[in-house]
């Protein structure tokens, strides 16, 4: 018996020694699962899986179906063209978009991938998304149409001119200049050809003559419109504002388009914030997400319903919770949704009749998608040390089971870090959650360098997210202890905590950061002489701010797309409602001058004395590249060791695979120079 025990330990030791550490390259080898919608009869689960070719610098998405009765997974597409917008139709058919033929077109096939047929033959059409009607007699498609004159239109003889003329704001948005197009919704009837093939005919524009989008640009899509159950009406989301008015407001509305009469009416007139993402129950009740305050993009997301008599009820008004993704139960009596809770994203159930809400799950993970049938929820789940896989959650038994294994074999070959929660007291006597991420094979008898991770948003929870760039497990795998506080201004800890950061960017949140790193530095396994601070967006702002107030705590900094000079940023950013809400308005107003002076990092540059890596994208119009240039130039003129990593074609995020690898290599090379793990 002893021989078997010894042999077992030898095999275990060999297995552990053969395991690798997580690397940037391995991140790009991981398959990325999304979606996970159950078929109308509950038999199949449809999801997407995206993989990347690092050498080719591109990715491709295929469709998979899991037979829930047979517990068998089948890949149903395998083309070099990404399949997208996959959705269930009648009799478990699957509708989707693909560029396999004639550009992006709409296709239909069986759940086993057979009998695939092209259902549209659109010419010169920029198709960007669609939904099929419940009766499959029509589709609504997102199509780009031209609404503004270009230089070429005005001066057709100047064929090489590439100038732009602007007479209003919102001429650029997030990562692109206005393309003079708007994303309208078109209703296309479907006819059945003699050979049984479904064909989409030319469409009717739901926003004929309107210079607005039928979705919320630039990131909104088909989740922002839906059919009524009888296929006779279409509900869509639109912010029918232009230029400066669009830049200053978040007031979107839900509109109902009646297919028979061709008329449109506003369903949410009176609510001043976002109204979006409509969905009908099986009983014909409309639900959607709604924010009450105009201009506050991170306001509490409330869940509202409209009964068949037109009465609107706010189901979550009295709950101190913000609602994320949601879906109806097929019985029409229950809504399931995801919401942030204490540094995680959990599943909740809401009874529409009683208004009773209960939290279903708890644990150190995030749910990122959900679909429901019977007593089972099918949900994408991830954590700081696990990429997304789809799980089933049995409601009555409170039981989770993993259904997909897109990365299971790869994860088995890796020695992964461990994340633990820690609650500490802030300078104003409140409790704050800090995620501590420890390197693989962590030894408390050793000394480790530590990184303070500064979250963006600013109202964006430090949850159990698995990122493919700001990956805390990857940082820990490089030998760093990661300290990730849920500082002031994040959801999941009540609305008061979320709202506290507005107009106080450089105040209590900075104290929270310093409290978190000071607490960690007291541990015997943290080397207080090797501390760094890193972050992007508001996290990049935080790094710039900390550089001027840290009193020599940190040995190095990394700031990506950070806000450096709040006055210059206000003059160049695009969605001004965000700047107005969080900064109080323009810097030239007397009432705001003290706020800008107190909270702008550039006013503290005189105290800078620490090496800093500045990273920025040339197509970042939320935080324009000049912010990074100013920070780098200040560091250079002060004689501080500094580097500027610039990506001309990237926006607020680095999305190209090879650019991402450059980002990671430069990031860790910089940290190693000063912190030497």
- Residues marked active site are found at 537, 620, 652
Residue 248's H or E segment, with its range, is helix 243-248
SS3 511: helix
Cβ distance 275 to 303 under 8 Å? Answer: no
What's the number of CA atoms in the CB half-sphere (13 Å) around residue 641? 9
Cβ distance 539 to 547 under 8 Å? Answer: no
Q: List CB contacts of 151: < 8 A, sequence separation 6 or more.
A: 158, 161, 162, 163, 164, 165
Reported in sequence order, the residue ranges of 546-658 that DSSP labels E, i.e. its strands, are 556-560, 612-617, 642-647
Residue with tokens 């025990």: 5
Residue 497 has which token pair? 């905590």
CA separation (Å) from 15 to 10, 11, 27, 412, 421?
9, 6, 21, 10, 29
CA separation (Å) from 613 to 487, 532, 555, 639, 660?
23, 11, 12, 14, 16
* Alpha carbons 290 and 541: distance in angstroms, whole number: 29
Beta bridge partners of 560: 536, 615
Total Cβ atoms within 10 A of residue 7: 10
Provide Rg for the chain, Cα atoms: 26
Total Cβ atoms within 10 A of residue 473: 26
- 462: nearest Cα among 531, 388, 512: 512
Q: What does DSSP say about strands 414-415 and 20-21: parallel, antiparallel, or unpaired? A: parallel
Residue with tokens 């009983």: 283
Strands, sheet with 84-88, edge to edge from the N-terminal-most edge strand: 84-88, 94-98, 105-109, 117-118
- The dihedral region occupied by 184, where left means phi > 0, alpha psi between -120 and 50, and beta the remainder, is beta
* Alpha carbons 41 and 59: distance in angstroms, whole number: 32
Residue 613 has which token pair? 């890596």
* Alpha carbons 543 and 564: distance in angstroms, whole number: 9
Question: Longest Cα pair distance anywhere in the chain, in angstroms?
Answer: 91
* Alpha carbons 226 and 341: distance in angstroms, whole number: 29
Strands, sheet with 198-205, edge to edge from the N-terminal-most edge strand: 127-132, 138-146, 181-192, 198-205
- 187: nearest Cα among 168, 169, 206: 206
SS3 485: strand
Reported in sequence order, the residue ranges of 167-274 that DSSP labels E, i.e. its strands, are 172-173, 176-177, 181-192, 198-205, 225-227, 233-238, 253-258, 264-266
Residue 28 has which token pair? 């790009």
Q: What is the DSSP letter of 224?
A: G
Cβ distance 54 to 658 under 8 Å? Answer: yes
């Amino acid at each position: 018996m002893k021989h078997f025990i010894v042999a077992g330990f030898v095999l275990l030791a060999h297995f552990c020694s053969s395991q690798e550490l997580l690397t940037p390259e391995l991140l790009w080898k991981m398959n990325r699962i999304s979606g996970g919608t159950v078929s109308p009869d509950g038999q199949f689960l449809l999801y997407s899986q995206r993989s990347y070719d690092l050498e080719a610098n591109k990715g491709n998405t295929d469709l998979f179906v899991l037979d829930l009765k047979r517990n068998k997974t089948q890949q149903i597409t395998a083309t070099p063209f990404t399949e997208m917008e996959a959705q269930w139709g009648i009799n478990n058919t699957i509708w989707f978009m693909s560029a396999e033929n004639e550009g992006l077109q709409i296709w239909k096939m069986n759940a086993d991938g057979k009998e695939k047929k092209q259902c549209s033959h659109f010419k010169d059409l920029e198709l960007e998304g669609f939904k099929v009607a419940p009766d499959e007699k029509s589709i609504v498609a997102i199509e780009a149409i031209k609404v503004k004159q270009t230089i070429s239109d005005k001066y057709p003889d100047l064929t090489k001119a590439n100038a732009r003329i602007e007479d209003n704001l919102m001429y650029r948005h997030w990562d692109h200049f206005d393309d003079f197009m708007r994303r309208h919704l078109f209703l296309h009837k479907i006819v059945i050809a003699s050979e049984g093939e479904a064909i989409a005919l030319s469409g009717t524009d739901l926003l004929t003559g309107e210079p607005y989008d039928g979705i919320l640009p630039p990131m909104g899509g088909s989740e922002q419109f839906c059919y009524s159950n009888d296929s006779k009406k279409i509900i869509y989301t639109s912010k029918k504002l232009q230029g400066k008015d669009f830049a200053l407001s978040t007031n979107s509305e839900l509109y109902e388009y009646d297919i028979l009469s061709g008329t449109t009416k506003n369903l949410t007139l009176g609510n001043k914030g976002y109204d979006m993402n409509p969905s009908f129950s099986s009983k014909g009740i409309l639900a959607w997400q709604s924010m009450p305050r105009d201009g506050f993009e991170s306001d509490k997301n409330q869940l509202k319903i409209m009964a068949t008599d037109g009465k609107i009820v706010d189901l979550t008004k009295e709950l101190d919770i913000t609602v994320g993704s949601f879906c109806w139960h097929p019985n029409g009596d229950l809504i399931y949704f995801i919401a942030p809770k204490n540094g995680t994203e959990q599943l909740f159930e809401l009874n529409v009749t009683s208004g009773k809400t209960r939290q279903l799950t708890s644990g150190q993970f995030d749910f990122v998608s959900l679909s429901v049938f019977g007593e089972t929820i099918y949900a994408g789940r991830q954590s700081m040390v696990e990429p997304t896989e789809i799980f089933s959650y049995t409601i009555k038994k409170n039981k989770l089971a993993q259904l997909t294994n897109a990365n299971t074999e790869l994860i088995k070959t890796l020695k992964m870090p461990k994340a633990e929660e820690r609650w500490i007291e802030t300078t104003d006597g409140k409790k704050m959650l800090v995620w501590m991420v420890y390197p693989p094979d962590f030894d408390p008898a050793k000394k480790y360098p530590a990184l303070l991770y500064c979250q963006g948003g600013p109202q964006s929870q430090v949850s159990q997210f698995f990122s493919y760039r700001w990956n805390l497990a990857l940082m820990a795998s490089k030998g760093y202890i990661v300290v990730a506080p849920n500082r002031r201004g994040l959801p999941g800890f009540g609305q008061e905590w979320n709202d506290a950061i507005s107009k106080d960017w450089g105040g209590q949140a900075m104290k929270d950061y310093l409290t978190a790193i000071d607490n960690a530095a007291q541990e015997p396994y943290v080397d207080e002489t090797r501390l760094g601070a890193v972050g992007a967006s508001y996290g990049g702002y935080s790094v710039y701010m900390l550089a001027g107030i840290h009193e020599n705590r940190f040995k190095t900094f990394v700031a990506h797309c950070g806000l450096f000079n709040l006055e210059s940023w206000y003059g160049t950013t695009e969605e001004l409602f965000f700047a107005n809400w969080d900064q109080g308005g323009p810097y030239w107003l007397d009432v705001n001058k003290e706020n800008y002076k107190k909270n702008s990092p550039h006013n503290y540059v005189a105290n800078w004395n620490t090496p800093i890596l500045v990273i920025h994208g040339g197509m970042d119009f939320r935080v324009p590249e000049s912010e990074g240039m100013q920070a780098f130039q200040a560091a250079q003129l002060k004689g501080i060791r500094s580097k500027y990593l610039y990506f001309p074609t990237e926006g607020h995020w680095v999305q190209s695979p090879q650019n991402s690898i450059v980002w990671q290599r430069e990031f860790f090379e910089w940290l190693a120079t000063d912190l030497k793990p």
